[in-house]
């Protein structure tokens, strides 16, 4: 089977992928650990308390990066699912599968830290606020996606169906976001870190937050590479088992 991979796709060929990730993974892991710890230590211990929110504001360093990751991981899954549909690229769809669990965890972290933060700020752990509600819905989408992967035996069938679900799900996730905004205007503050907003957080909070976000991104890359490697090995094992079964007949 002469497959003509062009230069970019070569990196994602299963064999090549296994060999370069084998070398790159420790680098990502160390960088992730450094940035993660640095960002959180800096944020927790070396920034002043907020004049209104006191020390509670510091949960921000977990809450904001995890919330950003929760959304961006879904976007990454959408892209990798599209690559699978268009180019039938196995590593791509396995990366989407690997990312889903991490994305769901990030969503859960964002929801839980949000609840912990919400109690002193708004006097309640949970409020049917548009942002909170949207994240709950996002969690449902992640759970559905993962459940569909688990339910189907044939890996290619599962890849196809989950990719279609991811595609359609993305459209409905965005629709839900606007529907929820329409439904309840909410009390969540605006986005804390946007490039163009006039009233952004002060620099003292901004820099450690950036480091923490970099830590989360690196952590995600590390985990997704690790899990994709596991998936590739699982697929090879599956192929070996199938071959055994067929050969026995």
| R_g of the chain, CA atoms, integer Å | 21
Which of 39-47, 59-67, 180-188, 213-221 is the region at the interface with another protein (rule: CB under 8 A)? Answer: 180-188
Shortest separation between residue 104's beta carbon and another protein, angstroms = 13
80 Cβ contact partners less than 8 Å away, ≥ 6 residues apart? 92, 93, 95, 96, 99
Contact 135, 110 (CB under 8 A): yes
Would you give the distance in Å from CA 131 to the centre of its chain? 17
Q: How many residues bind another protein (CB under 8 A)?
A: 51
**Alpha carbon distance 198, 119 (integer Å):** 27
Q: State the Cα torsion 152-154-156-162 to the nearest 10°.
A: 0
Shortest separation between residue 163's beta carbon and another protein, angstroms = 10
Among 29, 42, 115, 144, which residue sits at the site for another protein (rule: CB under 8 A)?
144
Contact 175, 130 (CB under 8 A): no
Which of 6-14, 40-48, 200-208, 215-223 is the region at the interface with another protein (rule: CB under 8 A)? Answer: 6-14
**Using rule CB under 8 A, residue 22 touches another protein:** no
Q: How far is CA 119 from CA 57, 72, 109, 218, in A?
A: 12, 26, 16, 30
**Using rule CB under 8 A, residue 246 touches another protein:** yes
**Using rule CB under 8 A, residue 189 touches another protein:** no
**Which residue is listed with tokens 């769901």?**
104
**Using rule CB under 8 A, residue 247 touches another protein:** yes
**Using rule CB under 8 A, residue 155 touches another protein:** yes
- Interface residues toward another protein, by CB under 8 A: 1-3, 5, 10, 13-16, 90-91, 137, 140-141, 143-144, 147-148, 151-157, 160-161, 164-165, 167-169, 172, 175-176, 178-180, 182-183, 232, 235-236, 238-239, 242-244, 246-247, 249
């Amino acid at each position: 089977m002469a497959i003509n991979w062009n230069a970019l796709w070569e990196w994602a060929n299963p064999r090549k992928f296994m060999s370069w990730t084998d070398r790159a993974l420790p680098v990502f892991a160390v960088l992730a650990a450094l940035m993660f710890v640095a960002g959180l230590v800096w944020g927790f211990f070396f920034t002043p308390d907020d004049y209104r929110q006191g020390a509670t504001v510091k949960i921000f360093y977990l809450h904001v990066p995890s919330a950003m990751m929760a959304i961006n991981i879904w976007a990454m899954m959408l892209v990798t699912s599209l690559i699978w549909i268009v180019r039938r690229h196995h590593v791509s769809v396995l990366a989407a599968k690997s990312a889903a669990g991490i994305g769901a965890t990030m969503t859960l972290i964002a929801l839980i830290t949000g609840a912990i933060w919400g109690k002193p700020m708004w006097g309640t752990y949970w409020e049917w606020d548009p942002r909170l509600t949207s994240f709950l819905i996002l969690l449902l989408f992640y759970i559905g996606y993962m459940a569909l992967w688990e339910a189907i035996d044939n890996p290619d069938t599962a890849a196809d169906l989950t990719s279609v679900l991811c595609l359609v799900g993305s459209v409905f996730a965005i629709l839900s976001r606007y529907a929820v905004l329409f439904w309840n205007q909410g009390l969540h503050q605006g986005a804390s870190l946007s490039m163009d907003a006039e009233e952004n957080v002060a620099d003292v909070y901004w820099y450690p937050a950036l480091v923490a976000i970099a830590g989360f991104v690196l952590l995600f890359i590390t985990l997704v590479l690790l899990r994709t490697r596991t998936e590739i090995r699982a697929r090879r094992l599956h192929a070996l088992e199938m071959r055994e079964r067929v050969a026995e007949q």
